[in-house]
Amino acid sequence: MIAELVSSALGLALYLNTLSADFCYDDSRAIKTNQDLLPETPWTHIFYNDFWGTLLTHSGSHKSYRPLCTLSFRLNHAIGGLNPWSYHLVNVLLHATVTGLFTSFSKILLGDGYWTFMAGLMFASHPIHTEAVAGIVGRADVGASLFFLLSLLCYIKHCSTRGYSARTWGWFLGTGLCAGCSMLWKEQGVTVLAVSAVYDVFVFHRLKMKQILPTIYKRKNLSLFLSISLLTFWGTSLLGARLYWMGNKPPSFSNSDNPAADSDSFLARTLTFFYLPTKNLWLLLCPDTLSFDWSMDAVPLLKTFCDWRNLHTVAFYIGLLFLAYYGLKSPSVERECNGKFVTNGKQNANGHGCHSDVEYRNSEIKPSFASKVENGIKNTASQRTQLPSTENIVVLSLSLLIIPFVPATNLFFYVGFVIAERVLYIPSMGFCLLITVGARALYVKVQKRFLKSLIFYATATLIVFYGLKTAIRNGDWRNEEMLYRSGIKVNPAKAWGNLGNVLKSQSKISEAESAYRNALYYRSNMADMLYNLGLLLQENSRFAEALHYYKLAIGSRPTLASAYLNTGIILMNQGKTEEARRTFLKCSEIPDENLKDPHAHKSSVTSCLYNLGKLYHEQGHYEDALSVYKEAIQKMPRQFAPQSLYNMMGEAYMRLSKLPEAEHWYMESLRSKTDHIPAHLTYGKLLALTGRKSEAEKFFLKAIELDPTKGNCYMHYGQFLLEEARLVEAAEMAKKAAERDSMEFDVVFNAAHMLRQASLNEAAEKYYDLAAKLRPNYPAALMNLGAILHLNGRLQKAEANYLRALQLKPDDVITQSNLRKLWNIMEKQGLKTSKT
C-alpha cells in the first residue's frame, strides 16, 4: 500500500502546477464550443454525438465516440462553468488514481519489493503523460486507462478464483463492464480484453508458444478455453456495436492530418507506417522532444530504402522479435535454480518456475489466494502465490505496450494523426514494466555489489530525469503561447499558425501577422492560416490584401464558408453589391458533407444568408430579404445566436407594413437575447408607430441603460422625442449621440438632422460638416451641409457644397432647386456666383 500511495502522490505533485493552466489547443472545440456540455442541451445527445459534439453518423464526424469522457466534461461545466481549474483538477486526480492502480498491478507481477516501487514511480513521472494530463482533452486517455486497469485487475481475480469459487464469474462480469467503460472513455480501451487473454495464457498458466493449443484442448483446461472464448465474444460484440453506432463507416481525414495515408506511393506509405512505431518507442525511451501536434510534415515521409531512418525501423523490429522470442521460447536445456536443475522452465522438485534467492528476497509477496491453479490443476499444497517468471512478465509487458497501440498503427484503418503523445498513455504501462523487469533481471544476474548498485541507481536516475522533464514540460502547458512556441521546431507550420491566433487575441497585431506569414512560409496552402491572415488584415482595414488571402483560402479549400462570408462583407461595404450577392449565394449552397466542423460551417452559411438578406433589405427588396431570412432560420445550427436574424425579420415585415408579424419577430429576438439593444430600438419604434408611446419610451430608455456609451441608442430616442415635439430633449439626445459615436456617419448625420429640425442650426452645421468629412463623396451629406450653410448665411460655402454634390449626382432635383434659390439671394446681395 505504501508503494501505491507514494507513486500516486508523485503523480499528483508533478502536475499540481497545471491546475492554474488555461484551456489549450483542442480544449476549445471539445469544451468551450461543444454544445453537448450546455445545460439546455439534452444529456442524451452525448450518446449520439462524437467527442467534438458532431453527430456520429455525419460524414464529417471524427468518429471518436467517447461519451463517458464528454459526460465528465458536462459535470465539470455544471459545477464550475468554463473555469479551467476544475477540469485540470479532475485530470490530475485521475492520473494519481491510475498511477496507484498501476502500482498495484505491478505488485502482482514484481512482488512487494522496491522494483514495484520503481515501476510505479516511473509511470507517475514519465513525460509522455504530460499531454494526456495537462491537456484537458487527454482525460479520454486517462479515464480509459483507469477502467483498463480495473478490468485487468478484475480478470486477474477471476483467474485466481476460477474453478473453486462461484464468485469467479462476478469478477469476469466486472472485467467485461470495465472494458466496456474503458472503450466508452476512448476506443483503445477495448484492447484490455486481449491483454487479459495474454495474462491468462502466458502469465497465469505460464504456457509457452508450443504448449498453447495442446493445453487448451485438454479437457481439464475447459475453464481456460471458456474464459478466452468469452473474452473474444465480448470484445467482438463491443467492436461490432461500436462500428454500428458510428454508421458502419470509418472517419475521413485531411491530407495534413496523416500525410502518409494520403500518399500515392505504396512504398512511402509502407516504409513510413513501419517507421512510426519506432518513433513512438523512442518518445517513450527518450522523451527529449515533445510537441502538442505531430501532423503535417513533423515526421517526413520515408520515400526510399536509402532513407537512414529505415535502420531504426529494422533495429526496432529485430529487438521486438528478440524480446518476443525470449518470452515465448520453450527452453530445452537444463539450468540451475537455487541449487536444483530445471528442465523446460520447471523445477524437477515440484514443477514450479524458478527465481534466484535474491529475486525472491526482493520480490516475494504475501499470498492473495487460498490455493493455486496452474495449467488447469489446483495445487492446494501451495501456501503462497508464486510470482511470474521474468519471461512471463516480458510477454505481458510487450502485450501492454503493443496491443493498445495497434489501433494507432494504420494497420486496420487510417487514423487522423501521425503521432499523438496522449495515445501512448496506456502503452507506457507496458514500457515501464519492461524497463523495470529488465533492470531487475540484470540486477539478479550480476554478482558484484558495485554492478548491482550501478543498475539500481541508473534506474532511479532515469526516473529522476523523467520527473524533471515532466516538470519542465508542464510549464509549456500553462498557456497556449508557451505551448505553441515549444512546438515550433517539431511542427513549425501548425505552431506558428496557432501562435498567430494567440498573439492576435493579445492585440499584438504585427507579431500575429508575422507568425501567420511564418506558418505560410512552411506550408503555403493551409486554408485556415490564409483565412486567419485575411481576417487580421480585414480587421485592420487592409481590405484589398484581405480579399487576396480570402481568395487563396477558398482556392485551397473551396468549402471554407467563413472565407466566402468575409469576402462578401468586404465587397458589400465597397458597394460591389452584385459581386457580394453572388459570393453569399455561392456560400449558402456549400453542403456540410465530410467537413471536420459542420457546426462552424453551418454558422458561417447562416451568417452569409443573414448578410444577403441585409443586402436585399438595403436595396428595398423586402420580400427577397424575408425569403433569405427564412432559409437562414432553417439552416441555423443550435449554437448560432439568432437575435440579429430575428430582428431583421421584424424590420423587413415593418417595411412591408405587416406589423403583427414584425412584432412577433421583435419579441423572438428579445426572447433569444433579453439585452439585445437593436431589438429594443426597433421594437420601440413599432410601439411608437402603433400608439403605445409610454411602452415605446421604456424600450428606448432600456436600450440606453444597457449601453450608455452607444450613440445609436440616444439617436433613436432623440427621433422619438422629436416626433413627440419634445424638441429640447430631442436636441440633447442628438448631441449625446454625436459625441459618443463621432466617427459613425449614420449617427452624426442623423444627429445633425434632428438638431436642424429642432431649429438649432449652428449645432446642426457642426455635425453636418463632420458628416461630410466622414463621407466626402456622399452627395446627400454635401447637399445637407450646403442647405444648413445656406440657412446660416454662409452663402459662398453653401454654393461650393451644392456644386460638389451636383458633380457627384448631377440629376438631383432638390440640390438644383436649392442652388437656384441660393444664386438669387447672392445676386440680390451683389455677391459673385459661379454661373457669372
Cα 467 → chain centroid: 27
Cα–Cα distance measured from residue 32 to residue 77, given in angstroms and rounded to the nearest whole number:
10
126-164 in b/e form (b: 16+ CB < 10 A) is bbbbbbbbbbbbbbbbbbbbbbbbbbbbbbbbbbbbbbe
Half-sphere exposure of 165 (CA within 13 A, CB side): 17
Interval 473-490: pLDDT, tens: 999 999 999 999 999 999
pLDDT-based confidence at residue 331 (cuts at 50, 70, 90) = low
Cα–Cα distance measured from residue 603 to residue 636, given in angstroms and rounded to the nearest whole number:
7
The arithmetic mean of pLDDT across residues 507-520, rounded, is 96
| pLDDT at site 309 | 95
pLDDT-based confidence at residue 215 (cuts at 50, 70, 90) = low
**Nearest 5°: CA angle at 553, between 547 and 555?**
105
| pLDDT at site 206 | 87
Region at 415 (left for phi over 0; alpha for psi -120 to 50; beta for the rest): beta
The arithmetic mean of pLDDT across residues 336-359, rounded, is 38
| pLDDT at site 220 | 60
| pLDDT at site 366 | 34
The arithmetic mean of pLDDT across residues 595-622, rounded, is 92
Report which of 94, 103, 152 is spatially closest to residue 123, judged by C-alpha positions: 103
Spatial contact of 617 and 645, defined as CB atoms under 8 Å apart: no
Residue % of the chain over a pLDDT of 70: 92
Report which of 119, 109, 117 is spatially closest to residue 3, judged by C-alpha positions: 117
| pLDDT at site 157 | 95
Lowest mean pLDDT, pick from 327-336, 358-367, 452-461: 358-367
Radius of gyration of the chain (CA): 37
The arithmetic mean of pLDDT across residues 689-710, rounded, is 93
DSSP for 213-251, written as a single string: HHHHHSGGGHHHHHHHHHHHHHHHHHHHHHHHHTTS---
Q: Please say if the pLDDT value at position 351 is more than 60.
A: no
Cα–Cα distance measured from residue 210 to residue 588, given in angstroms and rounded to the nearest whole number:
65
| pLDDT at site 352 | 35
**Nearest 5°: CA angle at 722, between 719 and 724?**
115
Interval 542-595: pLDDT, tens: 999 999 999 999 999 999 999 999 999 999 999 899 999 999 999 999 998 888
Report which of 77, 115, 733 is spatially closest to residue 460, judged by C-alpha positions: 115
* All three cell numbers of 473: 514540460
* All three cell numbers of 750: 442623423
Mean confidence (pLDDT) of the chain? 88
412 versus 443: which is more confidently predicted?
A: 443
Cα–Cα distance measured from residue 181 to residue 68, given in angstroms and rounded to the nearest whole number:
8
Spatial contact of 636 and 608, defined as CB atoms under 8 Å apart: no
pLDDT-based confidence at residue 13 (cuts at 50, 70, 90) = very high
**Torsion of Cα atoms, 352 then 394 then 423 then 314, to 10°:** -150
The arithmetic mean of pLDDT across residues 235-260, rounded, is 85
Q: Please say if the pLDDT value at position 774 is more than 70.
A: yes
The arithmetic mean of pLDDT across residues 403-418, rounded, is 88
Q: Which amino acid is at 546?
A: A
Q: How many CB atoms lie within 10 A of CB 512?
A: 21
| pLDDT at site 166 | 82
